[in-house]
Structure 1
Amino acid sequence: MRREDLSDLSAFLAVAEEQSFTRAAARLGTSQSALSHTLNRVEARLGVRLLTRTTRRVSPTEAGERLLQTLRPAFDDIDAGLAGLSELRDRPAGSLRIVASENAARGLLWPKLADVLPRYPDLKVEINVDAGLTDIVAERFDAGVRLGEHLAKDMIAVRIGPDLRLAVVGSPAYFDRHPRPRTPQDLAHHLCINLRLESFGGLYAWEFEKDGRELRVRVDGQFTSNDVPLILEAARGGTGLACVLEDQVMPSVANGSLVRVLEDWCAPFSGYHLYYPSRRQQTPAFALLVEALRYRE
């Protein structure tokens, strides 16, 4: 393969992944016109149309999608091989991208990274905060963070945090007006604040377990949000009961602004794990990150 062919294919990959000539040009450090000329040249040489262009977006054709699926793993292998050359350096270097929920990013990732980054100035880490179940391969992340129960079986998982529990809470003012629930079934008679998680199929069903008995309860109320801090603010204001991770609410429980109920129905479950594809090459920079984040009891 000629050197210019590799460059042209890299240009196609950038446009197909970004679905935008503007973003792809910025990613490659070139102009939109030069990039458009390159893609026209590639299509002419291959004799097929690779991209469908509209005024709003660019998307791969069937031929383009087939080429994209071929190029992604090939370029990933090249990137991994180049990153592996850092083994010859005196200290780990390179860029790593991780996707995680806000709670995991703030509570687990950043405290460790704040210690690691000053000691390794050639290491760069990007954290993308996203509560959804991101496809880290398709989105070109090096790793992601999920709860243990949501890990894909074809991924390598490293535990980075302790077991977690859910907590159901309400404000003292709310419980002045309503009796405290004693079982999950009692929630049918309470105003509850729903958490919307699109990646889990819409509204989150509150999960409970006691003595081996598991329950999933669909709750109802006046307020719904996909933002946990806003849900907790609403709960503190007396809007209704909330169900969130224990570590997110304990400060409010400790200062008395929220009261915890149904604690005996909230059993521990597997906490956060760092996960990545089994075929991923372990560069020194990535190995350093894994060991820095690994949970040690």
Structure 2
Amino acid sequence: MPQENYNDLVAFLTVARERSFTKAAAKLGVSQSALSQTVRGLEARLGIRLLTRTTRSVAPTEAGERLLKTVGPRFEEIEAELGALSELKDKPSGTIRITAGEHPAISVLAPAIRKLAIEYPDINVEVTVDYGLTDIVAERYDAGIRLGEQVAKDMIAVKVSGDMRMAVVGSPAYFGRHGRPETPQDLTGHNCINMRLPTRGGIYPWEFERDGREIRVRVDGQLVFNTLAMRIDAALSGLGLAYLPEDQATEHLATGRLERVLEDWCEPFPGYHLYYPNRRHASPAFAVFVDALRFRG
């Protein structure tokens, strides 16, 4: 059957179910005369009468009744499936792929995911921890999280954390053996636990600022790690000084297992942003995800 005849079948089925051209026309949003002409065209193409019409009623003929019973349920299945697809469009579900550095993955993503996973069981989140500035379009990520200064200008950016501070920390045992640095330059005489980042081309310099004066110090030491956990553990073990996001040291500072130095040289700076290419065709799942991460402080 030609594709255009599917509409004719829908017209016939509606009239046959409603037993009325008037009611069927209202349901389909067409005029009664247009609907009658459509059904007559279908009958002409099939070469058989499908409806018996009187001034008072409309009823399927034997052929019409057969068509109603055989084709009708199939169209109902199609309509039901299309309806289900429409509901799926508005239901938060699917997989969201995110790339982020280790710290935002721990401090921003993890708390949001814990809540999101419970409230929206049909949303799957895949997180890749990567210190590099990943091309999220080329690598087919939905979004990334980086410091605001690292987000490209052509990206949409959503603030997902408050301002941040860094902290230089060490164990009481370390300070007992080596003393405390009084200025950032003093760090060159200490055993510092370094971090290597692929985007920096080598060892990450420790950055400080006070009263508008910025200093970058390239420290030295026995240990180089690229994970927060190993740097924290090494500092707790008294193996050197670590340069960490402040929130990752708070608990250990409170218990006295770590102590802080150069605090007046660690000024706040803008925090993390979620970034993605555009707002077009954002899925309900992605919209829910962005809202869960949005900073409201």
Instruction: Give runs of aligned pairs for residues 260-275 of structure 1, distance below 5 A.
Output: 260-275=260-275
CA contact (8 A) 1:145 1:275 kept: yes
Instruction: Give runs of aligned pairs for residues 10-89 of structure 1, distance below 5 A.
Output: 89=89
CA contact (8 A) 1:86 1:283 kept: no
CA contact (8 A) 2:144 2:276 kept: yes
CA contact (8 A) 1:98 1:127 kept: yes
Aligned match of 1:233: 233
Q: Do the aligned partners of residues 147 and 86 (structure 1) sit closer, same or farther apart at CA in structure 2, a change above 3 Å counting?
A: farther
Residue 165 of structure 1: how far off its partner (Å): 0.5
Q: CA RMSD, aligned part only?
A: 1.8
Other structure's SS at 1:105 match = helix
Aligned match of 1:159: 159
Other structure's SS at 1:138 match = coil
Q: Identity of paired residues, percent? A: 60
Residue 88 of structure 1: how far off its partner (Å): 6.4
Q: Do the aligned partners of residues 195 and 296 (structure 1) sit closer, same or farther apart at CA in structure 2, a change above 3 Å counting?
A: same
CA contact (8 A) 2:102 2:228 kept: no
Aligned match of 2:184: 184
Residue 114 of structure 1: how far off its partner (Å): 2.0
Q: Do the aligned partners of residues 94 and 86 (structure 1) sit closer, same or farther apart at CA in structure 2, a change above 3 Å counting?
A: farther
TM-score, normalization by structure 1: 0.68
Residue 108 of structure 1: how far off its partner (Å): 1.6
Aligned match of 1:101: 101
CA distance in 2, matches of 1:86, 1:239: 59
Unaligned runs of 5+ in 2: 1-84
Residue 214 of structure 1: how far off its partner (Å): 0.6
Question: Which string of whole-angstrom CA distances, capped at 9 and with x for unpartnered residues, describes residues 95-118 of structure 1?
Answer: 211111232223221222222233
Other structure's SS at 1:268 match = coil
Aligned match of 1:113: 113
Aligned match of 1:289: 289
The amino acid of 2:283's aligned partner reads: T
Other structure's SS at 1:239 match = coil
Residue 254 of structure 1: how far off its partner (Å): 1.2
Q: Do the aligned partners of residues 229 and 121 (structure 1) sit closer, same or farther apart at CA in structure 2, a change above 3 Å counting?
A: closer
Aligned match of 1:224: 224
Residue 179 of structure 1: how far off its partner (Å): 2.2
CA contact (8 A) 2:90 2:284 kept: no
CA distance in 1, matches of 2:219, 2:192: 6
Other structure's SS at 2:208 match = strand
Bigger mean CA offset, 96-105 vs 151-160: 96-105
CA distance in 1, matches of 2:283, 2:113: 17
CA distance in 2, matches of 1:102, 1:88: 33
Q: Do the aligned partners of residues 120 and 237 (structure 1) sit closer, same or farther apart at CA in structure 2, a change above 3 Å counting?
A: closer
Other structure's SS at 1:126 match = strand
Task: Count how many residue pairs are aligned between Structure 1 and Structure 2.
Answer: 213
Question: Which string of whole-angstrom CA distances, capped at 9 and with x for unpartnered residues, describes residues 234-266 of structure 1?
Answer: 112222111111111111111111110000000
CA contact (8 A) 1:195 1:225 kept: yes
The amino acid of 1:221's aligned partner reads: G
Aligned match of 1:79: none
CA distance in 2, matches of 1:87, 1:153: 35
Look at both structures and tell me which one has the larger radius of gyration over its CA atoms. 2
CA distance in 2, matches of 1:194, 1:119: 39
CA distance in 2, matches of 1:260, 1:182: 11
CA distance in 2, matches of 1:266, 1:256: 20
Q: Do the aligned partners of residues 272 and 116 (structure 1) sit closer, same or farther apart at CA in structure 2, a change above 3 Å counting?
A: same
Aligned match of 1:208: 208
